[in-house]
Amino acid sequence: MKILVCISNVPDTTTKIKFAGGNSSIDTTGVQWVINPWDELSLTRALELKDDAATGIKSVTVIHVGNAASEPTIRKALAIGADDGIRVNAESPDAWYVASQIAEVVKNDQFDIILCGIESSDYNGSVVGGMVAEFLGIPSVSAVSGINIENGQPVLTREIDGGKEIIALSAPFVAIVQKGIAKEPRIAAMRGIMMARSKPVKLIDPVAVEPLTLISVFEKPAPRTACKYIDADNAEQLIDLLQNEAKVI
Amino acid sequence: MSVLVYTENWDGKFKKLSFELVSYAAGVAKLLNTTVAAVSIGRVEENELKKLGNYGAVKIISVNNDQLVSLDSQAYASVISEISVKEGASVIVFANNNTGKAVAPRVSVRLKAGVGSGVSRLPLNVDPFTVYKRTYSGNAFAHVIIKSAVKIITLAQNSFDLIETANNATIEILNISVDPSLLKTSVKDVQKQSGKIVLTDADIVVSGGRGMKSADNWSPLIELATLLGAATACSRPVSDEGWRPHDEHTGQTGKIIAPNLYIAVGISGATQHLAGISSSKYIVAINSDKDAPVFEAAQYGIVGDAMKVLPKLVAAVKEIKK
């Protein structure tokens, strides 16, 4: 079986977000770009499955829709351990466009398990994985916190309100993964970094797709009111304020 | 033309979230000069279905089918898409929760409908149709224009107030059978913790961080939460240390919540933690470090040792509950 991991290239999560171009885009000056945290966990789990010969996973490929500037993020995924990469050479204007491109690649090059992070930390869209599955007409399971292959049969753990469900299904499918899928993201070792240089990254031209959404402008969240301090020795005053001023208890 | 809203049920009951969704859909319908139809999938009694009418649904479509007992996103998307077409829906509203995230993108592809997800306000404009959504994990908001004829919105939980109206709703029981080839997942087992308040539903959350110092120090925090009817949560280092279970981790990579009141005890307030809680209506910070960034996000703060402050709060809550 072959796994495809969809990766997004996002600003490091500690980045102070600033805007440019009349607040229509983010100011990328000085931004450190990283693999989207959930995609990094997906990749880690995919590699763990491949390491276990009993799963029958033969290869792990990463795919990214983006321009040449995101090449280092693909190389990082290869250094962590992916066998090869695919880059659809295009800006990614919206989720519809990105999902269309990924689905097109999968139509031409079969994968058994497609992993997507539950959201990207930049756009917070949470839709690409489900769209890819629907374009391909294959099942998708969201909020996945565990993937195993038991006797050749994929078994997923899905988070539900106040618990979990264990789900069986057959490949091909899309799993949209969240926290819990892997303990810690795998870190690239020096040997992996050296090997990544010679691993193949296939460059694919995009298919013509009209985006369905457009960001017209960004704004910062409204500033919060200044913090009102209560003396620790009179901490019980907080309860009075919450009850009578904020009226939340 | 109409606004369609998918209202999930939990063991046959709706929650506050369901009514937020219908209230929101009614607000969108008013902007578009049209009406709201609500779709329910699963076994829900008529008197429960009727409650959706209290928030502005004019038509309530109930699909109850043995094939749809558990969530299969492919099958659910096919049912909701079919109803959308039948109702001539121009806007479809889902919750931005696990179910909405599973189903909305599949409906999007079926209907070639652009999605605005994690929306927290009524549309800013109807032409071009512009929604207001959370981006950069709460560090920015975007005005997003949806260009397609049909638009999908997923609404952020606890972002829209309930609006009650006169109830004129009619209930339609709809028999739709699903093509078996669309049912490819099967639920083998369900593991539920009973009696615990669901973190994403809680109005009040009491959360502990590294400042709690050890797994053994949690009892006053739990006591405070119990007295307030609150859910308990924690920061990432706490769940990584194994002091508390992983499903309590709130923050960018854990659960993203928006309660009315979030009490952060011994949490410094790293960007990644604030990303998960910044939509809370009120934030209280209790921390021994007066320079901790959590105080910048909080409306109320106490600089002090959690172990000394918590018992005082417990005593004060007991006093008002008398």
- Domain containing A22: what range? 2-223
Mark which of B151, B182, B213 sits at the end of a domain: B182
- What ipTM describes this predicted complex? 0.96
Task: Indicate whether B229 belongs to any domain.
Answer: yes
Report in angstroms the alpha-carbon separations of B72 from A81, A167, B98, B117: 32, 10, 12, 20
- Domain containing B51: what range? 2-182
Task: Indicate whether A240 belongs to any domain.
Answer: no
pLDDT given for residue A7 in this prediction: 98
CB contact under 8 A, A126 and B101: yes
* Spatial separation of the C-alpha atoms in residues B275 and B256, rounded to whole Å: 8
Residue of A165, A213, A244 best to disrupt the B interface, most CBs of B under 10 A: A213
Q: What is the CATH number of the domain that holds A217?
A: 3.40.50.620
Per-residue pLDDT tens over the stretch B7-66: 999 999 999 999 999 999 999 999 999 999 999 999 999 999 999 999 999 999 999 989
Q: What is the per-residue DSSP string for B114-161?
A: EEEEEE-SS-SEETTEEEEEEEGGGTEEEEEEE-SSSEEEEEPTT-S-
pLDDT given for residue A223 in this prediction: 83
Other CB atoms within 10 A of residue B285 CB: 26
CB contact under 8 A, A126 and B113: no
B181 touches chain A (CB under 8 A): no
Number of residues assigned to chain A: 249
Query: For chain A, what is the domain count?
Result: 1
The nearest alpha carbon in chain B to A36 belongs to: B253
How far apart, in Å, do the first and last CA atoms of chain A sit? 54
Q: What is the CATH number of the domain that holds B231?
A: 3.40.50.1220
- Per-residue model confidence as pLDDT tens for chain A (249 residues): 999 999 999 999 888 899 998 999 999 999 999 999 999 999 999 999 999 999 999 999 999 999 999 999 999 999 999 999 999 999 999 999 999 999 999 999 999 999 999 999 999 999 999 999 999 999 999 999 999 999 999 999 999 988 999 999 999 999 999 989 998 999 999 999 999 999 999 999 999 999 999 999 999 998 888 999 999 999 999 999 999 999 999
Residues of chain A positioned with their CB less than 8 A from the CB of B193: 162-163
Task: Label the pairing between strands A163-168 and B231-234.
Answer: unpaired
Residues of chain B positioned with their CB less than 8 A from the CB of A161: 10, 98, 198, 200-201
Option in B138, B204, B308 nearest A232 (CB): B308
Q: What is the CATH number of the domain that holds B23?
A: 3.40.50.620
Whether the CB-CB separation of B150 and B113 falls below 8 Å is answered with yes
Distance from the B257 Cα atom to the nearest Cα atom in chain A, whole angstroms? 13
Whether the CB-CB separation of B41 and B60 falls below 8 Å is answered with no
Mark which of B182, B214, B240 sits at the end of a domain: B182
pLDDT given for residue B123 in this prediction: 98
Query: For chain B, what is the domain count?
Result: 2
Residue of A32, A36, A135, A142 best to disrupt the B interface, most CBs of B under 10 A: A142
CB contact under 8 A, B315 and A236: yes
pLDDT given for residue A174 in this prediction: 98
Q: Which helix (H) or strand (E) holds A142?
A: strand A140-150
CB contact under 8 A, A139 and B275: no
Q: Are residues B211 and B165 in the same domain?
A: no
Residues of chain A positioned with their CB less than 8 A from the CB of B70: 165
Task: Label the pairing between strands B261-265 and B2-6.
Answer: unpaired
pLDDT given for residue B122 in this prediction: 98
Q: Are residues B203 and B163 in the same domain?
A: no
Q: For chain B, what is the total number of helices (H) and then of strands (E)?
A: 9, 16
* Spatial separation of the C-alpha atoms in residues B3 and A172, rounded to whole Å: 34
Q: Mean pLDDT for chain B?
A: 96
Task: Indicate whether B188 belongs to any domain.
Answer: no
* Spatial separation of the C-alpha atoms in residues B150 and B115, rounded to whole Å: 9
Residue of B92, B97, B299, B305 best to disrupt the A interface, most CBs of A under 10 A: B299
pLDDT band at B321 (very low <50, low <70, confident <90, very high): confident
Task: Indicate whether B116 belongs to any domain.
Answer: yes
Q: CA-CA-CA-CA torsion for B39, B44, B45, B49, nearest 10 degrees?
A: -30
CB contact under 8 A, A140 and B140: no
Q: Are residues B178 and B254 in the same domain?
A: no
CB contact under 8 A, A166 and B188: yes
Residue B194 has pLDDT above 80, yes or no: no
B301 touches chain A (CB under 8 A): yes
pLDDT band at B92 (very low <50, low <70, confident <90, very high): very high
pLDDT given for residue B158 in this prediction: 93
Q: Which of B76, B41, B75 is nearest to B179 (CA)?
A: B75
Q: Which of B173, B151, B170 is nearest to B89 (CA)?
A: B151
* Spatial separation of the C-alpha atoms in residues B155 and B172, rounded to whole Å: 25
Q: Are residues B209 and B145 in the same domain?
A: no
Task: Indicate whether A178 belongs to any domain.
Answer: yes
Mark which of B182, B216, B233 sits at the end of a domain: B182
Q: Are residues B144 and B270 in the same domain?
A: no
* Spatial separation of the C-alpha atoms in residues B288 and B242, rounded to whole Å: 23
